[in-house]
């Protein structure tokens, strides 16, 4: 049994991890809720959500869970720090938990490298100014962003309550014909049951935040063999990608 520890900000779509775990063999996802003083997709609030103080406290709790790897499962709370700041986050978590660690922002980069995809469309639930930070993060990793759509939702709680049909329509409507994949970057969005339908409708890979977070944890634990979905990513086989936060 592989245990991937999840550091998850606040409360919104944490039950999505239970759904993913139920569909993945021999995987447990112990989850620790980290402090969210203000639920807002706003840069200043996100800098607090991903601060060293907050992550260290959560990592201390996670360090007692008998985990094989750890993931800071917050895309916006990592990419707003920029590449180097997000790398320092990962190092800080790793120092506390004592096992390999990463974050959702780096997980997207690693997943794209695993699948050998580099041209993407982004369907972000965030306001546009926050989503632009994700675009810059990906660009620094050598990813070509062909289009960026923002749903403009301010709070994670509201994203967590988003109707599945509305979420599906938003992603499908914001594909780009030249994109190899559509990226859906918010861990507050329930996505476990949406990935396969979205990929079937689009005829291409869809990567969601909770999906790549779990995949990243399995990769770090040395358990990224091909397995049943959800999505093309889990079926893609053993990863040979180099950790982007260690060497670009």
d(CA 132, CA 142) in angstroms, rounded, equals 15
The reply to whether 115-208 shares the fold of 2-106+211-236 is yes
Of the chain, the end-to-end C-alpha distance in Å amounts to: 31
Q: Tell me, what's the pLDDT at 141?
A: 96
Q: Tell me, what's the pLDDT at 240?
A: 58
Q: Tell me, what's the pLDDT at 180?
A: 98
For residues 59-77, one letter each, b for 16 or more C-beta atoms within 10 angstroms of the residue's C-beta and e for the rest, the string is bebbbeeebbbbbbbbbbb
Domain segments of the chain as ranges: 2-106+211-236, 115-208
Mean pLDDT per 10-residue segment, the chain (248 residues): 97 97 93 97 97 97 96 98 97 97 98 96 97 98 98 96 97 98 98 97 98 96 83 80 58
CATH number belonging to the domain at 115-208, selected among 3.40.50.12500, 3.30.460.10, 3.40.50.300, 3.40.190.10: 3.40.50.12500
The CATH code that applies to domain 2-106+211-236 is: 3.40.50.12500
Task: Kindly report the pTM of this predicted structure.
Answer: 0.95
């Amino acid at each position: 049994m592989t245990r991937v520890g999840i550091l998850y900000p606040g409360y919104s779509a944490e039950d999505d991890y239970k759904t993913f775990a139920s569909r993945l063999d021999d995987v447990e996802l112990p989850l620790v809720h980290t402090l969210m003083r203000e639920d807002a997709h706003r840069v200043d609030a996100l800098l607090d959500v991903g601060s060293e103080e907050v992550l260290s406290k959560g990592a201390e709790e996670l360090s007692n869970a008998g985990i094989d790897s750890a993931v800071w499962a917050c895309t916006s709370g990592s990419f707003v720090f920029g590449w180097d700041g997000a790398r320092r986050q990962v190092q800080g978590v790793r120092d506390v938990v004592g096992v390999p660690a990463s974050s959702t922002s780096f997980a997207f980069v690693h997943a794209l490298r695993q699948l050998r995809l580099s041209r993407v469309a982004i369907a972000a639930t965030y306001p546009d100014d926050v989503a632009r930070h994700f675009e810059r993060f990906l660009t620094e990793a050598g990813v070509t962003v062909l289009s960026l759509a923002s749903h403009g939702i301010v709070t994670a709680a509201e994203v967590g309550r988003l109707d599945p049909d509305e979420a599906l329509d938003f992603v499908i409507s914001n594909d780009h014909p030249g994109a190899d994949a559509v990226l859906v970057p918010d861990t507050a969005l329930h996505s476990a049951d949406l990935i396969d339908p979205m990929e079937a409708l689009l005829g291409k890979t869809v990567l969601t935040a909770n999906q790549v977070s779990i995949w990243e944890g399995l990769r770090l634990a040395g358990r990224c063999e091909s397995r049943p979905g959800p999505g093309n990513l889990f079926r893609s086989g053993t990863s040979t990608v180099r950790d982007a936060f260690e060497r670009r």
